[in-house]
Structure 1
């Protein structure tokens, strides 16, 4: 980890290295990736030729792979053949348009079947509107890779950077987003899957010319892959570089933040992570 990033994380009282996300045609030498899955497409679905048993048999959540990568300080990566999750594959830009099955699975389910639905939105129509309003950017390269920012090569640049933290750390990041942008609404918290908040939503705002941080971690299906009380905080790379360049001008050097740091330390100690709070 380079000195500027370490100094910033030390000021936050946080030892969880953020993960960068980028697309590349070069497969990571190590890391976690779903096994190859059967073909999926709206055309196959409409023709009744989807092998659903095989699709579910190869299921592997994007956030689950990232969770493993966080544990091993390694990479999690995906491609169109190793998509893992139909929803995640859509959000990462590998498969579009989204399957009709997903609109029903996320909402009210399919009557008369064992697909009862997650009931995260009230109807397939509402889910379909979500997919229409935030169409993911088609994947610009073969692999979508998430890995610790310290593991980026000189010729690699993350497009987004995600922090994983509890409320006090998020407080440090949240106000800093407004500090470096002058935007009173610099942090957004839209509805979406965990991976959507790390990719699709930040890109959606950037396409509108809006530099926004995205607070995520509200997806109930994602919670098993986050620590207790932990959320995600994803920023475009430009905002991340502003964090590193300007945090010393901000409240992170004041007595007020020193008081918050004490709560960061207590939180870390409560969860058996006291070394994180002390910077050891």
Structure 2
């Protein structure tokens, strides 16, 4: 499918779902699009510097910038967001977006129980640093094929450009449509996964993990407490690979969206929800 065909079919998909916001695509490149938003350049960080005691964490934190915070800004402005090894913003984000390996040991403690005798109490999202190490070793992001990991609206992709991943931002009724249509497309009962991870882990690292395994899975995310402040109320993320997304578009004509079934009632709830939140909804 050409990008133009995908965009045309995407508009029909959004109308079926009642979703007024188009999805974002994720890709890697050595150049940034115009007006892209992202972190400022930070001091150098690496495991080598950390192990040598030469990593100034306080200085590095001065340029902290969450991946989802930049995506939120890009969603508002209709532009691209990015992260790179030099403009990392977040110690976890630069790892999960495939831009720096190995990870900093710091995050093993920060996400779990903190550092004894210091004010860093830890986020307590996993019980021990050992559990965090196991998680990091499992997700193990592949090497990035470009300098930047870029997120931008699907309509911003030109012919010749292709995203690796497609991310939807949606509330429960719309998610029920995405979830069910993914199952309809794949025929697999467990084709939607929601493993533990930060917001960017479930938008980038886990989808790439499944893609590298040759497994077609959508990833439901946005449950990370640290990322909730950068998302709308009741909103989650739903990410699929580019290849799976194209298949989902191709199966639309035979899907539940085109029969006189339960989705018509759900679609009414989607419209009521959008009205309650003061948002636009794609018209049926």
Is TM (by shorter chain) over 0.5? yes
Could you give the per-residue CA deviations for residues 216-269 of structure 1, whole angstroms, max 9, x where no partner exists?
010001101110000000000011111211112110122321110011011111
2-11 or 163-172, which deviates more: 2-11
Contact 2:14–2:282 (Cα < 8 Å) also in 1: no
Match of 1:257 in 2: 263
Contact 2:168 2:238 in 1 (8 A): yes
Are the equivalent residues in 2 in contact too, given 1:36–1:58 (CA < 8 A)?
A: yes
State the match for 1:133 in structure 2: 138
1:152 to 157, 165, 175: 157
Q: Alpha-carbon deviation of 1:13?
A: 0.7
Give the RMSD, CA atoms, in angstroms.
1.1
2:18 to 13, 18, 30: 13
2:272 — aligned with what? 266
Quote the Cα distance in structure 2 between the aligned partners of 1:245 and 1:133.
32
**Post-superposition shift, 1:278?**
3.8
For the residue of structure 1 that corresponds to 2:166, the secondary structure is strand
1:175 aligned residue (180, 197, 201): 180
Equivalent-residue separation in structure 1 for 2:49 and 2:188 (angstroms): 45
Give the Cα–Cα distance (whole angstroms) in 2 for the partners of residues 77 and 166 of structure 1: 24
> Retained in 2: the 8 A contact 1:13–1:277?
yes
Q: Distance in 1 between matches of 2:92 and 2:59?
A: 16
TM-score (norm 1): 0.97
Deviations 1:97-146 (A, max 9, x none): 11111100000000110110000000000000111111101111111100
Q: Which residue of 2 aligns with 1:110?
A: 115
1:82-231 alignment to 2 at 5 Å? 82-231=87-236
Find the aligned partners of 2:258 and 2:140 in 1 and give their Cα distance: 40
Q: CA deviation at 1:277?
A: 5.2
Select which of 220, 226, 237 maps to 1:232.
Answer: 237
- Counting matched residue pairs gives 278
- For the residues of structure 2 that align with 1:77 and 1:154, how far apart are their CA atoms? 21
How far did 1:79 drift?
1.4
**Following the alignment from structure 1 to structure 2, what is the Cα–Cα distance between the partners of residues 201 and 3?**
28
**Gaps (5+ residues) in structure 1?**
none
How high is the TM-score relative to the length of structure 2? 0.95
* Runs of 4+ displaced beyond 4 Å: none
Deviations 1:200-221 (A, max 9, x none): 1011112222100000010001
Instruction: Map 1:44-63 onto structure 2 (within 5 A).
Output: 44-63=49-68
CA–CA distance in 2 between the matches of 1:238 and 1:19? 15
Q: 1:202 to 1:211 in 2, by over 3 A?
A: same
